[in-house]
Structure 1
Amino acid sequence: MDRIIRIGTRGSKLALWQAEFTQDKLRQAGYDSELVIIKTTGDNTQALNLSFDKIEGKGFFTKEIEDALLRGDVDMAVHSMKDMPTSSPDGLVLTAVSYREDPADWLLVRKESIEAGQLFRLKQNPVVGTSSARRKAQILDLRPDAQLKDIRGNVPTRVDKLMQGEFDAIMLAAAGLSRLELDLSGVEVIKFDPREFIPAPAQGVLAYQTCTEDKAMRKVLQHLHHAEVSTVTNVERRILQLMEGGCQMPLGIYCEQDKAGNFHVWAAKADAWNGPVKKVRMSSSTSYMLAEKVAEELKK
């Protein structure tokens, strides 16, 4: 490819980390690129007044970037895969996916709110910050005494709010915290097992989107593609699609493939953020119809 690849990205610190990581991988493959920062609906203050579960996974963080792709203003887009709707607009395609960072959720607890003997070492009746319906449902399942409070802003802003004492604890994706290498020495970090506290579908994965007709760009992105990650995230996102919930449904799905090639899925669903959580665990030697079987169990 003889052109400089234009990468569409949001302007948050995490989005820029993701785009710069992608730039580095393209450079290693012999391609030059530049970043084009695009403001999305999800970045607007007004949108941030919505509960996060109303906007995550519904295109609020992707639509303007996809529009730029369709106009030809950028050649490719980098998204957090968990923000992506389960189908691309006509003319666009998810061409490749990145490696998977730790898919887990982490609970960050203020030192002043630690209490020995309590679950997660978190004091009784704690104020826990999260705007995700999925996280709310699962944390209430484990700690019914938790007082849940929405939290907004990018990852560093949320950590600052915790440090300032607005919350006893907050919940964030391990991937964002790890990638930004934030100083967490002032808090206790409780690292959940993704098989027990179940993450959003495709959490920790970057998705690379291009125009369907741009065969040259699609070929370039094969240098960045992790087929083994795609294999499991396809299962996760297919379940999400079958549940027809988007991300406003409190739904966690995690799939992994073992060394023998077997697939294992853990799923958690509630009808509302404050409703009972149903969990499903399923294993199969093949991914064929696995998503359908998990969705069927979740719907029972």
Structure 2
Amino acid sequence: MKKITIGSRGSDLALWQANHIKRQLETLGAEVSITIIKTQGDAIQHLSFDKMEGKGFFTKELETALLDQSIDLAVHSHKDLETNFPEGLTIAAVSEREDPSDLLLIHKNAVDESQKWGLKQGAVVGTSSARRKSQVMRYRPDVTIQDLRGNVPTRIQKLADGGYDAILLAKAGIDRLKINLDNFHAVVLDPRAFVPAPAQGVLGLQIRENDVELAKLLSQLNHTAVQQRIAVERKVLNLLQGGCQLPLGVYCPDEQNVYVSYGENWEDGAILAHYEVEDLENIAEIIVEDLQNPE
């Protein structure tokens, strides 16, 4: 078996993810190294995602490296991936799903237990996600939202420094990095009510389509049930032709339930929907039909 080169972004979380897969491959007898690749999303820190050109802010450079064969495997946060891949690339496997919930991290000075989520009236909340913004507006239209960029530790430091009263993060990243949150009031938001991004908490393992040997190896790491559920989530995203800027949350926790949050734009807040089905076939098409043709 040839040596496998994993391409990864350089953030703490991206490197945790790459090393997590590296260890799994090594238990299968593979020899693995990691190469760090800087992406547009890493390089441009002063703009929110809706101000940046195009899509695939955290993935494009990794995909280019796959295609020019400077790496063999890209480990992505699956939620960052475009739903249409460049020709010649495929997702060979998906990981187990870490808790997909969003986490509201509140500065101790901004706690008010009489308010929803324990967040004081008129608080300043940091997030650059249109999906999160739209759901905050649904539940707490009194707050002010300000953009927040940077890797996970940087965002938390900005909260600690008093730049925000609260910030929103994916719980999966906090759990993976084992970050101590004792200095903050942390609220785990129920993913059925504050709906995560499609495939949040899942890693996507991307390779060249013609790399048959690696595909066979990675199939041993694939989590089929997770793959089927996030396929529904990402199909909704795909049919709506959405990227990071779309105020869309889709969460499929099992074979019978799908939760959706959607807004035309984040300022107007999100509508929430819950679908209870006998099976997941065609549910993505039904959801999109409903979203595009509201009564």
In which range does the TM-score fall when normalised by the shorter chain? over 0.9
Q: Which runs of 5+ in 1 are unaligned?
A: none
- Equivalent-residue separation in structure 2 for 1:285 and 1:57 (angstroms): 37
Task: Write the deviation string for residues 239-264 of structure 1: whole angstroms up to 9, x where unpaired.
Answer: 0011112221100100021xxxx321
- Equivalent-residue separation in structure 2 for 1:202 and 1:264 (angstroms): 15
- Within the candidate set 192, 198, 220, 2:217 is matched to 220
- Within the candidate set 259, 263, 269, 1:266 is matched to 259
Q: Which amino acid aligns with 2:64?
A: D
TM-score (ref. length: structure 1): 0.95
Q: Which stretch of structure 1 is more off in the superposition, 154-163 or 242-251?
A: 242-251
- Equivalent-residue separation in structure 1 for 2:113 and 2:173 (angstroms): 28
Partner of 1:158: 155
- Equivalent-residue separation in structure 2 for 1:53 and 1:105 (angstroms): 20
Task: Write the deviation string for residues 174-222 of structure 1: whole angstroms up to 9, x where unpaired.
Answer: 0111101111000011001100000100000000000000100111111
Partner of 2:139: 142
Q: Which runs of 5+ in 2 are unaligned?
A: none
Partner of 1:275: 268
Alignment of 1:289-300 (within 5 A): 289-300=282-293
Task: Write the deviation string for residues 49-94 of structure 1: whole angstroms up to 9, x where unpaired.
Answer: 2212455992111111111111111111100000000011001001
The alignment partner of 2:197 has SS state of coil
- Equivalent-residue separation in structure 1 for 2:214 and 2:189 (angstroms): 38
CA distance change for structure 1 residues 34 and 56 in 2, over 3 Å: closer, same or farther?
Answer: farther
- Equivalent-residue separation in structure 2 for 1:6 and 1:159 (angstroms): 31
Give yes or no for contact 1:129–1:170 (8 Å, CA) kept in 2.
yes
- Within the candidate set 249, 254, 263, 2:251 is matched to 254
Partner of 2:197: 200
Partner of 1:188: 185
Partner of 1:130: 127
Task: Write the deviation string for residues 147-183 of structure 1: whole angstroms up to 9, x where unpaired.
Answer: 1111111000000010111111000000111101111
TM-score (ref. length: structure 2): 0.97
Q: Give 4+ residue runs of structure 1 displaced > 6 Å after superposition.
A: none
The alignment partner of 2:266 has SS state of coil
Partner of 1:49: 46
- Equivalent-residue separation in structure 2 for 1:115 and 1:64 (angstroms): 43
